[in-house]
Amino acid sequence: MAPQFRSYVWDPALILSQITLMQAIYYSSLGLWLAVVDSLVHNSPSLDQIFNYEVLGFSTSPGRLAMMAFILNALSCAIGLLYFIRRGKQCLDFTVTIHFFHLLGCWIYNAHFPTALTWWLVHTVCTALMAVIGEYLCMRTELKEIPLNSTPKSNV
């Protein structure tokens, strides 16, 4: 079998470490964005802002600010996809995995399945933004020209 350009071997340890890293990036950047938003309105931070699906909403100011933090977090995580995943084909997989684990976390935290329409709307938009922007950034780096130096190097 001839070697292929950019052929990859299935490496479960690498995939699990990338999932763990991206999940850590997701929650740490979300925590930072929520802290920034909370400092603007002098609100006290809590885990409810991350896991309670009833916090997100258009009718209250904290709900709108929390939605803004989730959307800004999607942009931050897209940059994480660029630096740590580096493959445009895998961006959607990792994005859906991150949001699936977040869904499980919300389900466990609230002790019942999220039913709020705004929660589903915000997370659908965040999933789409993170996947599309991450894939765009990764594809830009994948399509960069490979510099070829035609002059021979000599160590004289």
Instruction: Note if the pTM is more than 0.75.
Output: yes
Closest CA to 86 of 139, 34, 41: 139
Distance in angstroms (rounded) separating the CA atoms of residues 87 and 54: 35
Give the span between the Cα atoms of 58 and 8, in whole angstroms: 45
Structure token pair of residue 129: 């933004």
Alpha-carbon distance 45 to 25, whole Å? Answer: 18
Report helix, strand or coil for 76: helix
The answer to whether 78 touches 134, Cβ cutoff 8 Å, is yes
Rounded CA-CA distance 18/94 in Å is: 8
Half-sphere exposure of 150 (CA within 13 A, CB side): 0
CA distance 131 to 53: 22
In whole numbers, what is the pLDDT of the chain averaged over residues?
A: 89
Helix (H), strand (E) at residue 55: none
> How many other C-beta atoms can be found within 10 angstroms of the C-beta atom of residue 114?
20
12 pLDDT more than 80? yes
Per domain, the residue ranges of the chain are 17-140
Tokens of 149: 């130096």
Closest CA to 19 of 100, 76, 73, 89: 100
Confidence grade of residue 128 (pLDDT, cut at 50, 70, 90): very high
- Looking at residue 130, what is its pLDDT? 97
pLDDT in tens, 25-63: 999 999 999 999 999 888 888 899 999 988 898 888 888
- Average pLDDT in the 109-120 region? 94
> Which residues have CB under 8 Å from 97's CB, separation 6+?
19, 22
